[in-house]
Amino acid sequence: MTQVVNEAGFVPGAARAWRKPWRPGRGNGFLLIAPLTLLCALFVVPLALVVVRSFSGPQPGLAQYIEIVSNPSTAWVVLYTFWTALLVTAATLLLSYPVAFTISRAKGRLLTVCLAMVLIPFWTSTVIRTYGWIVILQRRGILNDILVGSGLIDQPLRLMNDGSGMQIAMIHIMLPFMILPLLSAMRGIDANLMRAASVLGANPLRQFVHVYLPMSLPGVSAGCVLVFISSLGFYITPALLGGQRTMIAVLIEQQASRLLNWPLASALATILLVLTSALFIIYERLMARLGGGKPVGEVQ
């Protein structure tokens, strides 16, 4: 059959065929072998070994999990980890929302400068930023020198090794992870909607509560999940600033490297993995129900 070629040299319908989404079939399924093999070797198999190792030890079975639940100090570390992650997420959201709102209204060079200030911390190591907070928060640090010199306090505040300094540093490190999802959602909000609400008689507060805030919730939820899950696995900052109030990642390192108790370390890692996965599944189900029954990211 003779094909008709238009003046541009293309066959009609070829562009539509080219835009069809790629779907794996019998002829191209072998392309998935290499990435699936790599994923299994570097991710699935190690996780499976950790889970299996958690049921081993001098007393095979659930002995390690029973010890975690029955030991008050170990159970407190798990609860404290989730409490710290929740506190850091809430504080990061409160600090990031007005910052992201301000950046979303910026234009031109001001927008470029603001984005650079948000992205520059990604280029600095977490270790360096944590040591920077040690210099600021220690008893003879910059913050205490300013407070004592100004007469606001008589004795230096104890911000190191009691959890508060660790939480401040974690909030600072997690700020970009909250600002960027919020900024992405806010930049997509049509400004005409706020003008329409104003024309209909809504004051600025009602415009924000009934129009702007609901449309920014996808960024809020994405940022909260990202910050919360990342905070659960924090190691460097709690190890340097946490003191006796340690988190689960530090406890896992202590059990595996110092005490050589691999079964207990594996059980702690498995608990963290299961709880994190459960929270993410609950988040996906909730977003799917609120979004019309489809998971987040799925094409409608």
pLDDT at 121: 82
Rounded to two decimals, what is the model's pTM?
0.78
**Whole-number CA gyration radius for the chain:** 26
Q: How do the pLDDT tens digits run along the chain, 300 residues long? A: 444 445 444 445 544 444 555 555 555 667 788 888 888 888 888 888 888 888 887 777 788 888 888 888 888 888 899 999 999 999 999 999 999 999 988 888 888 888 888 888 888 888 888 888 888 888 887 888 888 888 787 788 887 777 888 899 999 999 999 999 999 888 888 888 888 888 888 888 888 888 888 888 888 988 998 899 889 888 888 888 877 778 888 888 888 888 888 888 888 889 888 888 888 888 888 777 765 444 444 433
Q: What is the Cα–Cα distance from 166 to 296, expressed in whole angstroms? A: 32
pLDDT at 150: 83
pLDDT at 294: 44
Which domain CATH number covers 101? 1.10.3720.10
pLDDT at 175: 92
C-alpha dist (Å) from residue 126 to 160, 162, 234, 236, 272: 17, 20, 10, 7, 22
**62 and 268 Cβ atoms separated by less than 8 Å:** no
Q: ∠ CA(102), CA(172), CA(227), 5° rounding?
A: 85
Number of other CB atoms surrounding residue 224 within 10 Å: 20
What would the pLDDT profile of 15-31 be if each residue is shown by its tens digit? 444 455 555 555 566 77
**216 and 224 Cβ atoms separated by less than 8 Å:** no
Range(s) of the domain holding residue 253? 73-287
Query: CB-based contacts of 68: which residues, under 8 Å, 6+ apart?
Result: 74, 75, 78, 264, 267, 268, 271
pLDDT at 170: 92
| Within a domain: 135 | yes
| Within a domain: 96 | yes
| Within a domain: 6 | no
pLDDT at 12: 52
| Within a domain: 46 | no
| Within a domain: 8 | no
pLDDT at 51: 87
**223 and 177 Cβ atoms separated by less than 8 Å:** yes
Q: Which is it for the CA torsion 229, 117, 240, 154, positive or negative?
A: negative
**232 and 248 Cβ atoms separated by less than 8 Å:** yes
Side chain identity, residue 77: V
Query: CB-based contacts of 195: which residues, under 8 Å, 6+ apart?
Result: none
**271 and 165 Cβ atoms separated by less than 8 Å:** no
When divided into structural domains, the chain yields a total of 1
Q: In terms of C-beta density within 10 A (0-12 exposed, 13-18 middle, 19 or more buried), how is residue 120 classed? A: exposed
C-alpha dist (Å) from residue 99 to 104, 105, 110, 115, 224: 9, 10, 13, 11, 15
| Within a domain: 203 | yes
Side chain identity, residue 81: T
| Within a domain: 218 | yes
| Within a domain: 247 | yes
